[in-house]
Amino acid sequence: MKENSLSRSAGLLPPCLTFGLVFSLMLSLSAMAQTAAAPAVTVIRAGTLIDGKSNTVRRDQVIVIRGNQIESVSDAAGAKIPDGAQVIDLSKSTVLPGLIDSHTHIFLQGEDPAKGGYDANILNQPLAMRAARATVSARRALEQGFTTLRDLETEGAGYGDVGIKEAIEQGYIPGPRMFVVTRAISTTGGYPLEGYAPELDMPKGAQIVDGPVEARKAAREQLDHGADWIKVYMTHRSWVGKNGELVSQPTLTVEELHAIVDEAHGWGKKVACHAYSGIGLHRALDGGCDSIEHGLDLDDAAIAQMLKQGTWYVPTLSVYYAAWAPADTEDGQRDRLRAAVHEPSFRKALKSGVKIVFGTDMGGIPWTEPIAQEFSRMVEFGMQPMDAIQSATSRAAVMLDMEGKIGVVAPGAYADIIAVNGDPLRDIKLLERVQFVMKDGQVFRAK
């Protein structure tokens, strides 16, 4: 990630200046290395530790943190506290790794349809306003113990997510580690703004492509401008079919998707696909998507293919239970059907061993609501609390190619650590009330 942003900014300078800058940076870095103090040492006393990976809970642990990394985790009895270490006493708490939400939108704010909804956000808000609000979303995530987000597109705010990510990395604003996708990709007729006079050239919430050549070009542009993942909308509108089934409109063809996946994989990046059901879901799998987002109606063939291909499943359950249209409207019936098919899809995927990862679609839900509400829904639909926690820690880390670095409290991982009062394995809702947040060795919240 760092390499990417460094090479991008260096690329803006003429070669001679780049060399000069790098050379003087090297000089100043070596001077700093001689004078800088050793990294600070912090020790956390953990009453109970859920490390994010192991199914076993450990009592009375001592976690030694040097700088931004965890150095050791050991039983308190016999543990040596390094000289001069700052000690944080969480001996009455349950300590966990920082949580990971793998499906968010920091540039959406749960827009109220009565106030113009999605369209007003794009048409009326200056970009600076949207960016300012995105910084608040990022801070709220961190406050709630989510130390990493995979943010799945800016909804018309271009490459704003890359800017927010850089501002967090450079310490200008507080926020989680960010994996960003920039603009996302769909086809003509496959994304809002919609319903305006055809003579008007309206902005769209995603980058619109038609044909494999345009699809590949869009992926190249987005990757060139800092996308960590590519996001593709494989279905768009949905409605209740003649036989009461959920129908969703497919968007990209397999050929179009394949061009994107082929390009992204060549860059060592992955592709997240929004897909509800039917034709679009099967094209998503045939085209090689790495993660299926939402997956409202997973038929048996889709589940078998996900298992075979190792596809990740980010169900985002809660958002489909919020803000249903009135029951006597077409939209209202569709909203109820979506939720009705989602639960059995989730249960089937869970039972078959599909790799399920925690994601919320925050932004679709206002950021003022608890992000961790998704845990309750997962547990209600049959997931064990420890499994739900791992879906937001070590399993998400594997999907993000960050195994051992995030989503685990273990030597060599970044010091992203949270704590709650009580036992979240008995009451998963406790994760909605995180008391302590450390990211990268820095305490962000302690209460």
Could you tell me the smallest distance in angstroms from the CB atom of residue 296 to Zn ion? 13
The region that residue 370 occupies, defined by phi over 0 for left and psi between -120 and 50 for alpha, beta otherwise, is beta
Residue 244 has a CB neighbour count (10 Å cut-off) of: 9
Could you tell me the smallest distance in angstroms from the CB atom of residue 322 to Zn ion? 13
Nearer to Zn ion, 316 or 394 (CB): 316
Cα–Cα distance for residue pair 145/189, rounded to 1 Å: 38
Residue 332 has a CB neighbour count (10 Å cut-off) of: 13
Could you tell me the smallest distance in angstroms from the CB atom of residue 246 to Zn ion? 18
Which residue's beta carbon is nearest to the bound Zn ion?
361
Could you tell me the smallest distance in angstroms from the CB atom of residue 135 to Zn ion? 19
Q: Across-strand partners of 438?
A: 417, 443
Residues between 70 and 99 with contacts to Zn ion, criterion CB under 5 A: none
Cis bond upstream, residue 193 (ω within 30): yes
Nearer to Zn ion, 273 or 431 (CB): 273
Residue 86 has a CB neighbour count (10 Å cut-off) of: 11
Site string for Zn ion, 361-390 (x = CB under 5 A): x-----------------------------
> What is the distance between the terminal CA atoms of the chain, rounded to a whole angstrom?
32
Residue 44 has a CB neighbour count (10 Å cut-off) of: 27
**Which residue intervals of 250-367 are DSSP H helices?**
254-266, 278-286, 300-309, 330-352
Do 270 and 290 form a contact (C-beta atoms < 8 A)?
yes
Nearer to Zn ion, 51 or 361 (CB): 361
Nearer to Zn ion, 361 or 374 (CB): 361
Nearer to Zn ion, 53 or 150 (CB): 150
Under rule CB under 5 A, residue 101 binds Zn ion = no
Q: What's at 391, amino acid-wise? A: S
Site string for Zn ion, 206-245 (x = CB under 5 A): ----------------------------------------
Residue 423 has a CB neighbour count (10 Å cut-off) of: 14
Strand order of the β-sheet with 185-186 is: 207-208, 185-186, 229-233, 270-275, 291-294, 312-314, 355-356
Nearer to Zn ion, 361 or 416 (CB): 361
Number of residues that bind Zn ion (CB under 5 A): 1
β-pairing verdict for 246-250 and 312-314: unpaired
Cα–Cα distance for residue pair 400/176, rounded to 1 Å: 14
Torsion of Cα atoms, 129 then 368 then 161 then 96, to 10° = 150
Rg, C-alpha atoms of the chain: 23
Could you tell me the smallest distance in angstroms from the CB atom of residue 128 to Zn ion? 23
Could you tell me the smallest distance in angstroms from the CB atom of residue 331 to Zn ion? 18
Could you tell me the smallest distance in angstroms from the CB atom of residue 46 to Zn ion? 34
Identify the sign of the CA torsion 410, 149, 285, 226: negative
Nearer to Zn ion, 205 or 226 (CB): 205
Nearer to Zn ion, 64 or 99 (CB): 99
Nearer to Zn ion, 246 or 362 (CB): 362
Could you tell me the smallest distance in angstroms from the CB atom of residue 354 to Zn ion? 19
Residues between 309 and 368 with contacts to Zn ion, criterion CB under 5 A: 361
Could you tell me the smallest distance in angstroms from the CB atom of residue 258 to Zn ion? 23
Q: What's at 15, amino acid-wise? A: P
Output the six-digit token pair for 374: 């998704």
Cα–Cα distance for residue pair 129/157, rounded to 1 Å: 11
Could you tell me the smallest distance in angstroms from the CB atom of residue 312 to Zn ion? 15
Nearer to Zn ion, 324 or 427 (CB): 324
Q: What's at 83, amino acid-wise? A: D
Q: Which residues bind Zn ion (CB under 5 A)?
A: 361
